[in-house]
Structure 1
Amino acid sequence: MAHFLADVTVAVHIIALLFIGLGGFLAWRWPKVAFVHIFFALWGVLVNIAPIQCPLTAAENYFRHQQNLGDLPGGFNAYYLYDTVVPRSLLPAVAVIALALMIFSYIGAYLRWRHRHDTPTHRVRLG
């Protein structure tokens, strides 16, 4: 069971990372998602710059210990992403692209929100 729960934790972690990177685009359709996304984005930044462990990494480590495995070497990103999905040499470029996508998504969400509120909700019939 611990193996299954560790795998589920990895899947949830990947979904959370995708949401951190691309969740701003969901706000184009559902503007209130922006508030949840901001929390996730700030948490993602904090976990990567401060000595705070992500709760999902802690959960996976717990399930790994249940299987007599050690902690993830270097954390989730280092173990699953760096040098497998993204070469370490490209990490600065990936960070810039991710930031650009987030800014673009928020500009788009704002413009769509403004357009919705500028458009009259009723039309006047002539004749």
Structure 2
Amino acid sequence: MAGFLAAATVVVHFAALLYIGLGGFLAWRWPKSIFVHVFFVVWGVAVNVVPGLPCPLTTLEDHFRARQGLGPLPGGFNEYYIYDDLIPRGLLPAFTVAAVLVLIFSYAGAYLLWKRRRLVATH
């Protein structure tokens, strides 16, 4: 059971990362979802830049790994699953810039749509 729960945690972790990267676009349809997305973005950035701040999903996966007799993820989730396997290390700076640009675009689009909806509602 612990193996299944560890695998499920990995799936949820990847879903959370996709939401952090692309969830701003949901606010184009559901404007109030932006507040949840901002929380996820702030938390995602914080666990990657604040030394010692653990990611709860990595902690949960490590717990289930321990129940299987395995050690914690070597280097953490990103190090184990993403760096070099999905994103070559040499492209990390470019990927980071692209991710920030996507975030800015999604938020700008959400703002412009929100503003247009308010304008239409007042006329």
Please give the TM-score of this superposition, normalised by the length of structure 2.
0.97
Matches within 5 A, 1:25-104: 25-50=25-50, 51-104=52-105
The number of aligned residues is: 122
The structure with the greater share of residues assigned to helix is: 2
Could you tell me which amino acid in structure 2 is paired with residue 52 of structure 1? L
Q: Segments of 4+ in structure 1 off by > 6 A?
A: none
Take 1:78 and 1:34, find their aligned partners in 2: how far apart are those partners?
28
Uncovered stretches (5+) of structure 1, i.e. residues with no partner: 123-127
Larger radius of gyration: 1
Take 1:9 and 1:121, find their aligned partners in 2: how far apart are those partners?
45
Take 2:121 and 2:43, find their aligned partners in 1: how far apart are those partners?
38
Could you tell me which amino acid in structure 2 is paired with residue 97 of structure 1? A
Take 1:90 and 1:27, find their aligned partners in 2: how far apart are those partners?
28
Uncovered stretches (5+) of structure 2, i.e. residues with no partner: none
Identity of aligned residues (%): 61
| 1:111 paired residue number | 112
What is the CA-CA distance between 1:102 and the residue it aligns to? 0.2
What does the per-residue CA deviation read over 1:1-26, in whole Å, with 9 as the maximum and x for residues that have no partner? 00000010000000000000011000
Take 2:27 and 2:82, find their aligned partners in 1: how far apart are those partners?
26
Take 2:78 and 2:96, find their aligned partners in 1: how far apart are those partners?
13
| 1:20 paired residue number | 20
Q: Give the secondary-structure state (helix, strand or coil) at the position aligned to 1:18.
A: helix
CA RMSD across the alignment: 1.0
What is the CA-CA distance between 1:121 and the residue it aligns to? 6.8
